[in-house]
Structure 1
Amino acid sequence: MRECFMMRFCKFFLLFCFSALITSAQAEAQDQKQLFLKLNQYYVFTPESYYINNDNRFMVPLRVVDDLIGADVVFNKETKTAEITFSDQEVKFTSDSNKVTINNTPFSMNTKVAYNEKTETLFIPVYILINTFNLNVQWNHTWKQLDINDERIMESKGIPDLKGSDVWRSKVSNANAFRMVHYALRKVHEEEMFTRMQIEFTAENITGYYIHEGKEDIHYWIKLNNSFCAETDTKEQRPRPYVKAKEITKKVIPFDINKGDALNYIVIWPRTV
């Protein structure tokens, strides 16, 4: 009985600390510093930005839960409701409501689900998923980064195909050699049959030592509805200069979205080999 109580207490304490840290971040006048979401060793980005709402809750678009965390998601566009199932746990959300149903039991949240009419995107508070699905989480207040680590996530749909295209995966020496500092997705120009896009990001060497020439391997995958593209896995394809400890390196990655296609998400794995 004590063990079960302690597990519940530790879980509650972790969620309380996570909430308190988010509150602290919000209290600093909402400095607008960019938020980052890291699932295991992968930084993930969607066309819709994450944000902290007025109730100090980290909000994520539904596609993160479906495509990346790997839950089964049923979304009703007419009623703006979502049913999420993961590891035999079920959560039901409704837009603009603080009511949530977890395993057929109704609860009240201290925030509301939001719906963006322009992008037709449902945003949900991630803490409900952390609690219900018992996910391991760490919030870095300085970096404004939420880390979710769990062997069950990043294993659904097209993710194994993306990983399978990574021929250097088995040669990774440090899976967390860099942290993301800034990220931007920009439209460069639009043609009749495609749109030229561009990813710009900076990453800091957090290993504590020099990364020797040829060892930096900030890998990326760009997942579209009908296809995906990734860095060509030949180390000679681009210069890989040495990177000093705490040095920030910048990358610019152009890509095209064909007419009728759309961007789903972008995964960046900043590592060394």
Structure 2
Amino acid sequence: MQVLRELIPWEGYALSAWDAVSGTHRHVTLASEGYSTRVQAHMNDAFVQENPGFQLLHTRVPHALRWSDLARDWQVEFSKTFSAEAVLIPAGFKEGATMCLRLPDGRYTGALHISWARPHDASDEARRTIEGFRPLLAQACDLLSALPAEQQVGPDAHAVVISPTGTVSQMPGRSAGPVLLEHMPNRVLHDLAMRGSVRRRYLWAGPKGSCHRIEVIPCRGQATLISEEQIPWPFDLSPREAQILHLVAQGFSNPRIAGELFISPRTVSTHVEHLLDKLACESRARLAAIAAGADLVLLNATDA
């Protein structure tokens, strides 16, 4: 922005990033000059939510627009909107430009607002110069880029981001995948996100017996990254054995496990014997220790 400031004279600007995990239209200021706190608050909130010029930019126009462009080309009299009459003009601004910022994949990350006291300073050349900075500023506004990514999540993993209020957003560059989108309701994802401030790992049994590794990774701003990746069942377990191992690790007796899974105690006893053999254990306590150490906690342990 300092470089851009040297190329274009202006009286005020704000570089605003969209807070994607908020689940709202809310933006936050990354850098600003010449805008009062009131102007910044308006541009980050009411402006992006209500102003017809911004709605046009956000949905239909891929380049920057000045007040004069809106009036000439789109029949939007920006100077007569609430943003201009009640906020910008009283602050001394007579012309301005806004540019929505998007990454190459089309994902919206924020907006640049520039204001001038003298309308003639908002030249065509100034607008072209502003647009030349779009790729760099779009990356700067990508708040999700600070979330754990390739170095912490497997290359084939799906991922979503959960906000503190429970809003589910897609992780940049990742699909959410059918497990996180279709089989795990938002309330389950939110419950996982609320379970503490340390990284945790679970297993999830798919509807057709597949095994999925679920990882819960706390991030900055109280957001949580939840990833999912299909893996082979650890220790060559069957889905039923994974259920029983999980319940053994919880300290359940064979009769209680039988009641939880609607099977007979004899069947449970047979499964436990197979588990002791597969994991080369001499006791239920050792089974529980291995389950905890290998992150074999099963999210849907009592599903039939």
Asked if Structure 1 and Structure 2 have the same fold, meaning a TM-score greater than 0.5 normalized by the shorter chain, the answer is no
TM-score range, shorter chain: under 0.3
- Larger relative contact order (CA 8 Å, sep ≥ 6): 1
Write 1 or 2 for the structure with the bigger share of strand. Answer: 1
- Structure ID, larger Rg: 2
TM-score normalized by the length of structure 1: 0.24
Write 1 or 2 for the structure with the bigger share of helix. Answer: 2
